[in-house]
Structure 1
Amino acid sequence: MSQHKVVLLLGSNIGDQKNNIDTALNKLSETCTILKKSEYLTSEPVEFASSNIFCNIATIISTHLSPIQLLDYVKKIEIDMGRLTDSTVSKVYTDRIIDIDIVKYGELKFVSERLEIPHNRHLFEREFSRILLKDLFKKTNT
């Protein structure tokens, strides 16, 4: 089984945000290997109004899962942790206990109804994402 390096962004703005992210990372590590993590970063909500500040982190994982299998796995983590709405489905951003986005999957370019890789908003449009990814990549030659 071949392994793939994948960049994920995790965020939370409900409850103990840092603990929520750490819980999600622990659940990810049950199936994937976490290779690198950025520092934690707090940021204002993007594309919706909320008084809840986000805590975010970027990570590089190694996984044998296909992109869709990985998407299903991270969505299951989100639901298991209590996430009630999926913005991909509802098209509306809301507060969330955990959000896990697949930003890059090796050098793969992939588009489906459920998933687009690379996640161009995180790579090019969102300031907090650029800060996290810069921090992540300065720690590695990946």
Structure 2
Amino acid sequence: MTRVFVALGANLADPVGQLERAVAALSQLPGTLLVACSRFYRSAPMGPADQPDYVNGVAELATHLAPHALLDALQAIELSQGRERKAERWGPRTLDLDILLYGQWVLDDERLTLPHYGMKQRAFVLVPLSELAADLVLPDGSALADWVADCDRRDLHALSLPLHR
């Protein structure tokens, strides 16, 4: 099985509930084990400021699914929870599930970039990821702890205890 980290985000239609339902759905994926989930955090939105704050977290999975099969499964969960894909980037959404890391894979194609292209610049990803894997070394050889130490956490507020450990 491959160790995978998935970012969770929502800012519409009961964001905490959306993330809790997403975690439950992740635990039901075929060939996949939900290992742990970080606590949830509230953060200011990226992009347009005229939208509600986001709730974010990170889930750790162990999976036999290939990267694109996992992506398809995550997008099906998003759709089942009311996600509407729009051209606008960083707009409001009921649920956003992004593969951050798929083992030590490096991949860049029209559907998927691994590691996730923006993860190193986002406190709402780095901090919950570090809860699950503080000693993680990224595929480029950099230490997650170094990225976490340098990130701006001013707009990040913990909302809950971890759901699963």
Q: TM-score, normalised by structure 2?
A: 0.76
Q: Which has the higher helix share?
A: 1
- CA RMSD, 1 decimal: 1.7
Query: Is 1:73 matched up with 2:73?
Result: yes
Give how far 1:126 is off.
Answer: 1.2
What residue is the counterpart of 1:43 in the other structure?
43
What residue is the counterpart of 1:29 in the other structure?
27
Identity level (%): 29
Task: Choose the corresponding residue for 1:15, options 13, 20, 42.
Answer: 13
User: 2:103 corresponds to which letter in structure 1?
Assistant: G
What residue is the counterpart of 2:104 in the other structure?
107
Give how far 1:91 is off.
Answer: 5.3
Query: Is 1:136 matched up with 2:132?
Result: yes
Which runs of 4 or more aligned residues in structure 1 lie more than 2 Å from their structure 2 counterparts after TM superposition?
47-51, 90-93
What residue is the counterpart of 1:60 in the other structure?
60
Distance 1:10 1:34, change over 3 A: same
Give how far 1:13 is off.
Answer: 0.3
Secondary structure of residue in 1 paired with 2:118: helix
> Would you say the 8 A contact 1:10–1:98 is kept in 2?
yes
* Whole-Å separation in 2 of the counterparts to 1:92 and 1:12: 14
Q: Which has the larger radius of gyration?
A: 2
Secondary structure of residue in 2 paired with 1:59: strand
Number of corresponding residues: 135
Give how far 1:136 is off.
Answer: 2.0
1:26-48 CA-to-partner distances (Å, cap 9, x unmatched) read 11111121101111111011123
Give how far 1:141 is off.
Answer: 7.2
What residue is the counterpart of 1:82 in the other structure?
82
Give how far 1:130 is off.
Answer: 1.5
Secondary structure of residue in 1 paired with 2:91: coil
* Whole-Å separation in 1 of the counterparts to 2:123 and 2:136: 22
* Whole-Å separation in 1 of the counterparts to 2:67 and 2:39: 25
> Would you say the 8 A contact 1:50–1:95 is kept in 2?
no
User: 2:42 corresponds to which letter in structure 1?
Assistant: T
| 5-14 or 30-39: bigger deviation | 30-39
1:95-115 CA-to-partner distances (Å, cap 9, x unmatched) read 111000000000011111010
What residue is the counterpart of 2:95 in the other structure?
98
Q: Which runs of 5+ in 2 are unaligned?
A: 138-165
Q: TM-score, normalised by structure 1?
A: 0.87
